[in-house]
Every structure is written in C-alpha cells, then in structure tokens.
C-alpha cells in the first residue's frame, strides 16, 4: 500500500479529546499507544451540526458491536452513512453504553470531580461553538461489552494492545470528535488511562472507489432541512406553543382494508397447529397475517431482520 499523506496528527492525553475536520474521502485513524484505551466518539456534519452521529440507527443496522465493514449513521431524519470502518485490528466496539458523565461518577462512586467523556467531548466541540447540549451518545471504540441472560449489560476486559488501530473513511465532510474515555475505575480501559493517537489521512483513488458511499441522499426519506416545515433553528431555550399550529400528519388517515385469502385444508390444519402453539395469535386472520409477514420479512426485507417468528 502506498504511503498515505498525513493531513493532521495529534496525541490525545488522558483527560482530553480533539475535534478535527475529516473531509469526504479522507481517513480518520485512531491508534493505541498504550495497553488498551477506550475512545468515545461523536461526529457532526461539518456544514450542518444538526446532523450528527446516532447510536440507535447504527445499532439497528449493524448490531450491538459494529465491526470492520460496518457504517456509522447520522440521526433521523437525515439517516446517512457518515463513516465506514475500513480497518479494525481488534474487533471490539460498542454502541450499547452511553458516554460516562460527571453525574455518574458522583452518583455511583461519590466523586464530585472526575474526568468523564461528556465533559471532555463538550470541551472539544466548544472550539467550534457547540455546547454541552450538543454532545450525543457515543460510539465506543475498543470497548469490550456484552449482555447477560437477564438482559443486563456488562463490561469486559479491554483487549486492544499497543499499535492496534481503527480506520474510518468519511462519506461527507464531518467534524470528528474522539476522546480518551475517562473510566479509570472500571475495566473499560483495564483500570488505567492511556494516550491515543489520531490522524487524518489522504487515501488513494482506488480506496475511495472501494469504500465511498454517494454523498447525496439515496432514499426519499433521508430528509434534509429543505424538507422541513420549520427550517430555522430555534434560538431560544423556552418552549412556547404556536397558536397558529394545525396538524399536518405525513401519512393520515391510516386506512385498513380487508383481503380475502383462500386456504386449502392443509393450510387450515397448519393454522390450527400455529394456534395451538399460542405464539401466532388466536383468530385465523391474525395467524395468517403473522405467518405472511414473517415470510415476507425473511424473503424481501433488506438489512437485519429483527424477527423471531412465533415469539
């Protein structure tokens, strides 16, 4: 591979972060300098800060532990891929846990003053005029987590070693904001804080052709401010009702229509077996509807299915 041009390089010491522009087609690289350090991460559209990274949409499309080849998505209603993870030498990332905050250290541990991800991210984005209210739930690089049989989350020992790294290609101009996670009293970073190196790199045309997504929206419902009824960003904090407001629901009224379905004796027997199972409904119509859409999801739905038929 050809040597990549370094556009920007910075070492984040414990207790710090950095807001850095990463333009479309550039690569963001985060690298371990010590024996395993979690990096919390926020991201904003460089030209419209109201478009920002969203753990929920990323989690929905790529699962709880995004990996190499997965994308980081912006929040509804924009819902565009912001980055693709093009290289990940460890493979443990997390979008379950929110960023740690000063409140958590005070509430859970009794520390009124402690380094934490929210405050570091807030200070990092202050350089670009953003506020603590603009910090959002983070992508947690190298955070090794899981979910137990009771549905409770847990944090395991950090697996990253010196020299491990992640690389992400930007699909549009982004303000990237990584920070050194402040959780030194938990196994997030093996009970010790270490520095991290970040770089912004230029990549080859071949790499761009392989990884870059189209910059514009690809679906009608990837909305932009041009689609909004209210286009101006609210400048005051207090909420006041608009006396002239009249509801204009986007899809309303919802109309239901009956559809007649002819079934064979064998299909009626199947309905009886599914009814006895108890997990598909009670009435014939409920069972047919459940069965049909379960089949349709498996055969035609794009992306993760999020369905356990009969449960």
Name the residue with tokens 């199947």: 270
What pLDDT, on a 0 to 100 scale, did the predictor assign at position 216?
Answer: 84
Q: What pTM, to 2 d.p., does this model score?
A: 0.92
Provide mean pLDDT across the span 19-36.
98
| Cβ atoms 197, 30 nearer than 8 A | yes
- The least confident of 44-53, 117-126, 180-189, 252-261 is 252-261
103-120 exposure pattern, b = at least 16 Cβ within 10 A, e = fewer? ebbeeeeeeeebbbbbbb
Q: What is the pLDDT of residues 39-75, one digit of tens each?
A: 999 999 999 999 999 999 999 999 999 999 999 999 9
Residue-wise pLDDT tens digits, 188-198? 999 999 999 99
What is the spatial distance between Cα 257 and Cα 49, in angstroms, rounded to a whole number? 43
Between the CA of residue 130 and those of 122, 127, 133, 141, what are the distances in Å? 8, 7, 8, 23
The better pLDDT of the pair 251, 28 is held by 28
311 has a pLDDT exceeding 60 = no
Q: Residues 92-116: what's their mean pLDDT?
A: 96
- The answer to whether residue 305 scores a pLDDT higher than 60 is yes
Q: Which residue has the higher pLDDT, 292 or 132?
A: 132
Q: How far is CA 114 from CA 107, 108, 184, in A?
A: 12, 12, 10
Q: What backbone torsions phi and psi does residue 182 show, to the nearest 5 degrees? A: -90, 10
Q: What is residue 105's DSSP assignment?
A: I
Mean pLDDT, range 193-207, rounded to an integer:
97
Residue 134 is given by DSSP the state: G
């Amino acid at each position: 591979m050809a040597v990549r041009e370094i556009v920007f390089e910075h070492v984040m010491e414990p207790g710090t972060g950095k807001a850095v522009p990463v333009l479309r087609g550039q690569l963001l690289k985060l690298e371990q300098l010590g024996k395993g350090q979690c990096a919390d991460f926020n991201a904003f559209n460089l030209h419209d800060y109201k478009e920002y990274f969203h753990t929920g949409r990323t989690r929905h499309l790529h699962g709880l532990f995004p990996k190499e080849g997965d994308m980081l998505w912006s929040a509804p209603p924009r819902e565009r891929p912001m980055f693709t993870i093009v290289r990940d030498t460890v493979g443990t990332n997390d979008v379950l846990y929110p960023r740690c905050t000063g409140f958590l250290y005070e509430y859970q541990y009794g520390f009124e003053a402690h380094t934490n991800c929210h405050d570091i991210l807030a200070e990092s984005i202050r350089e670009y005029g953003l506020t603590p209210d603009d910090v959002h739930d983070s992508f947690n690089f190298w955070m090794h987590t899981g979910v137990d049989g009771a549905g409770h989350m847990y944090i395991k020992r950090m697996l990253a070693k010196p020299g491990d790294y992640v690389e992400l290609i930007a699909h549009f101009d982004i303000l990237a904001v990584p920070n050194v996670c402040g959780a030194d009293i938990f196994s997030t970073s093996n009970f010790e804080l270490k520095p991290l190196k970040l770089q912004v790199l230029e990549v080859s045309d071949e790499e761009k052709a392989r990884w870059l997504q189209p910059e514009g929206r690809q679906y009608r419902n990837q909305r932009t401010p041009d689609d909004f009824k209210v286009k101006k960003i609210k400048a005051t904090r207090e909420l006041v009702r608009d006396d002239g407001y009249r509801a204009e629901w986007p899809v309303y009224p919802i109309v239901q229509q009956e559809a007649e379905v002819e079934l064979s004796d064998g299909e009626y027997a199947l309905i009886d077996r599914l009814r006895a199972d108890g997990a598909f409904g009670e009435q014939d119509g409920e069972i047919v509807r459940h069965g049909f859409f379960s089949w349709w999801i498996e055969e035609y739905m794009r992306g993760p299915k999020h369905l356990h038929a009969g449960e």
